[in-house]
Amino acid sequence: MQDEPTPTELIKAVADFLRSEIAPAIKGHNGFKLRVGINALDLVTRQLALAEAGDATEAARLKQLLGTGGTLMELNRVLSEKIAGGEVDLKTPGLSEHLWQTTLDKLAVDQPNYASYKRELETK
């Protein structure tokens, strides 16, 4: 275990520096590539902050929905197989809620500024 700053703090500091100090001076295609890099750093920061909890709650929902245990990957594979086999569908209690919450959790990491995501959060 290292002392502060944390990996998240370091990544955020680099992204903030690039955004505020470097990006204004870079134009054209290199400016575009720089913005892509900054967005990647922002994504990693959100993954470090949110993914573990999102994965844990997704796994818990899947365990309850499927009545079995396993890793998140295994549980998603079982769910996919059951959907493909017609064993479960949107009429299955809890499935649509699980799929919707999983989508929202993934958007929180991947696209937190997505307009439809923000609108959905406002309705909760």
Q: In this predicted model, what pLDDT tens digit does every residue of 5-23 receive, in sequence order? A: 999 999 999 999 999 999 9
pTM higher than 0.75 for the full model? yes
Q: Quick check: 57 and 51 in contact, CB under 8 A?
A: no
Residue 99 scores a pLDDT above 70: yes
Q: Which of 38-42, 74-78, 82-86, 113-117 has the lowest mean pLDDT?
A: 113-117
Question: What rounded mean pLDDT belongs to the chain?
Answer: 95
Within 13 A of 48's CA, how many CA atoms are on the CB side? 13
Q: Quick check: 11 and 45 in contact, CB under 8 A?
A: yes
Supply the pLDDT for residue 108: 94
Q: What type of residue is 115?
A: A
Confidence class for position 1, pLDDT limits 50, 70, 90:
low
